[in-house]
């Protein structure tokens, strides 16, 4: 594996060693203020004095097996990872009306979005609804009209089950800016992205460490990619199903610091048909992608007793994504379209740095803002900068 993969892998291993994964399971005892929910906040319960007329005495003992919903507050309060993702694009070379070859045209596939489970997530199963915005500056640099700004909006819902040990996370993305138009050429990848579902289950949990694993499925609910010239129309149909096994951990060794990591492999289980208005060209299968994501963060302010602005945390993240195999290639010829649909540089290794601030607004909601900067030059650079904003509400 390449040098950057070794660097990121070393960071993950060092973090794992730091949080001491040899801890044993522990049970949490109830306290006077209530129980900890899956969002990491304390929900106060009505307390009655033992032996009063209002309520009979209650046992203070606890079942031998506690649910994940009664997890330790320090661990559950750790902010979600921010993320960074924009999938590399396939490209098509087109012929100008004069017969000369034009520049590459980017084709955003997979519904124009990303399937990275680390986006706005952590190892603990959660009950929440959320909204996320990702804005990319100077993306798709090889388009004939120059660089493009992309805007992505995601609505999400996560619900726990089996006593909080498992959760199902549904994400629906919408896109803006995935289009190019000129007098002789237009390309549009639509505004609707692909629905993704992530099943997450706890493998291990104690007072300061949670390890989870799961499987994601990306469904082709998004729009096709359509490129049109004066004489012909080319369609890359959005048909591929993606399977994404992952492993994650969240650690909070003390009240101030927290660490997280995700490892995921994105497998394209099927391909996308490529056809013009006159003929079929073949099937394009996207590359399988390895994702390694790490986080280190610190609470600057913690006001758990306050009704508003319960805390402020700073987060620093490193994200690595690499293609596992060479790019597929589908020859396209005839009319005003000529060339091949593929990833222009065949393989890619992306390394991005993310920094952000997490604002715990109330015990059950937070707002987060972040910025992403690529650390490598082209071709391992799919945008110049990114801004993020997200809102989570827990229940």
In tens, the pLDDT along 179-199 reads 777 777 777 888 888 999 999
**pLDDT tens, residue by residue, 328-340:** 989 887 666 777 8
Tokens at 19, concatenated: 């949080």
The two beta strands, 196-205 and 166-176, are: antiparallel
Q: Which residue's structure tokens are 């209530």?
A: 34
Which pLDDT does position 144 carry in this prediction?
A: 55
Angle (CA) 173-323-2 rounded to 5° is 135
Among candidate residues 203, 192, 206, 84, the one with its CA nearest the CA of residue 139: 84
How far apart are the C-alpha atoms of 95 and 296, rounded to whole Å?
Answer: 48
Among candidate residues 328, 244, 344, 293, the one with its CA nearest the CA of residue 81: 293
Residue 371 CB-density burial (10 A; 0-12 exposed, 13-18 middle, 19+ buried) = middle
pLDDT for 202 beyond 70: yes
Tokens at 9, concatenated: 């892998």
How far apart are the C-alpha atoms of 211 and 30, rounded to whole Å?
Answer: 23
Q: Where are the domains of the chain?
A: 3-18+77-394
Which pLDDT does position 214 carry in this prediction?
A: 98
Distances (CA, A) of 277 to 188, 286, 324: 16, 23, 33
Average pLDDT, the chain: 79
Which pLDDT does position 4 carry in this prediction?
A: 45
Reduced to 3 states, what is the DSSP secondary structure of residue 353?
strand
How far apart are the C-alpha atoms of 139 and 133, rounded to whole Å?
Answer: 16
Q: What is the DSSP letter of 193?
A: -
**pLDDT tens, residue by residue, 250-290:** 999 999 999 999 999 999 999 999 998 788 999 999 899 99
The topology under which CATH files domain 3-18+77-394 is Porin (2.40.160)
How far apart are the C-alpha atoms of 35 and 314, rounded to whole Å?
Answer: 26
> What torsion do the CA atoms of 344, 350, 355, 359 make, to the nearest 10 degrees?
80
Q: What is the DSSP letter of 89?
A: P
Which pLDDT does position 336 carry in this prediction?
A: 67
Reduced to 3 states, what is the DSSP secondary structure of residue 14?
helix
pLDDT for 21 beyond 60: no
What's the full length of the chain, in residues?
395
Mean pLDDT for 100-108 is: 64
How far apart are the C-alpha atoms of 108 and 354, rounded to whole Å?
Answer: 23
* Least confident piece of the model among 57-61, 236-240, 356-360: 57-61
The pLDDT confidence band at residue 245, using thresholds 50, 70 and 90, is very high
pLDDT for 160 beyond 90: yes
How far apart are the C-alpha atoms of 205 and 201, rounded to whole Å?
Answer: 11
pLDDT for 15 beyond 50: no
How far apart are the C-alpha atoms of 266 and 109, rounded to whole Å?
Answer: 14
Tokens at 309, concatenated: 């602005």
* Least confident piece of the model among 129-133, 271-275, 338-342, 364-368: 338-342
Tokens at 274, concatenated: 């490529």
Q: What is the DSSP letter of 111?
A: G
Among candidate residues 137, 17, 79, the one with its CA nearest the CA of residue 368: 79
pLDDT for 359 beyond 60: yes
Helix (H) or strand (E) run with residue 267 in it = strand 257-268
pLDDT for 392 beyond 50: yes
């Amino acid at each position: 594996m390449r040098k950057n993969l070794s660097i990121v892998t070393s960071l993950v291993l060092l973090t794992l060693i730091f949080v001491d994964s040899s801890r044993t399971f522990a049970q949490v005892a109830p306290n006077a203020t209530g129980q900890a929910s899956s969002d990491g906040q304390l929900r106060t319960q009505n307390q009655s004095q033992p032996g009063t007329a209002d309520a009979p005495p209650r046992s203070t003992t606890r079942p031998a097996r506690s649910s994940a919903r009664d997890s330790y507050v320090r661990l559950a309060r750790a902010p979600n990872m921010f993320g960074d993702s924009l999938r590399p694009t396939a490209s098509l070379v087109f012929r100008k009306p004069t017969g000369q070859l034009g520049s590459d045209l980017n084709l955003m596939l997979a519904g124009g979005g990303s399937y990275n489970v680390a986006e706005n997530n952590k190892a603990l199963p959660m009950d929440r609804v959320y909204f996320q915005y990702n804005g990319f500056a100077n993306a798709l640099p090889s388009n004939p009209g120059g660089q493009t700004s992309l805007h992505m909006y995601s609505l999400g819902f996560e619900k726990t089950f089996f006593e909080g040990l498992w959760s199902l996370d549904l994400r629906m993305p919408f896109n803006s800016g995935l289009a190019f138009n000129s007098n002789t050429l237009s390309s549009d990848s639509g505004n609707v992205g692909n629905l993704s579902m992530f099943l997450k289950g706890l493998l291990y949990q104690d007072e300061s460490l949670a390890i989870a694993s799961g499987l994601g499925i990306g469904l082709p609910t998004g729009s096709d990619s359509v490129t049109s010239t004066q004489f012909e129309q080319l369609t890359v149909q959005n048909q591929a199903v993606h399977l994404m096994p992952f492993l994650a951990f969240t650690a909070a060794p003390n009240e101030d610091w927290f660490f997280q990591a995700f490892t995921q492999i994105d497998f394209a289980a099927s391909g996308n048909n490529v056809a013009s208005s006159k003929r079929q060209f073949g099937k394009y299968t996207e590359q399988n992608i390895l994702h390694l994501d790490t986080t280190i963060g610190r609470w600057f302010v913690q006001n758990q007793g306050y009704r508003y602005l319960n805390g402020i945390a700073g987060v620093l993240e490193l994200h690595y994504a690499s293609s596992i195999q060479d790019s597929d290639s589908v020859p396209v010829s005839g009319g005003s379209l000529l060339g091949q649909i593929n990833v222009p540089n065949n393989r890619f290794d992306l390394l991005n740095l993310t920094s952000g601030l997490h604002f715990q607004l109330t015990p059950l909601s937070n707002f987060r803002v972040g910025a992403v900067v690529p650390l490598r030059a082209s071709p391992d650079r799919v945008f110049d900068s990114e801004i993020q904003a997200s809102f989570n509400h827990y229940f």
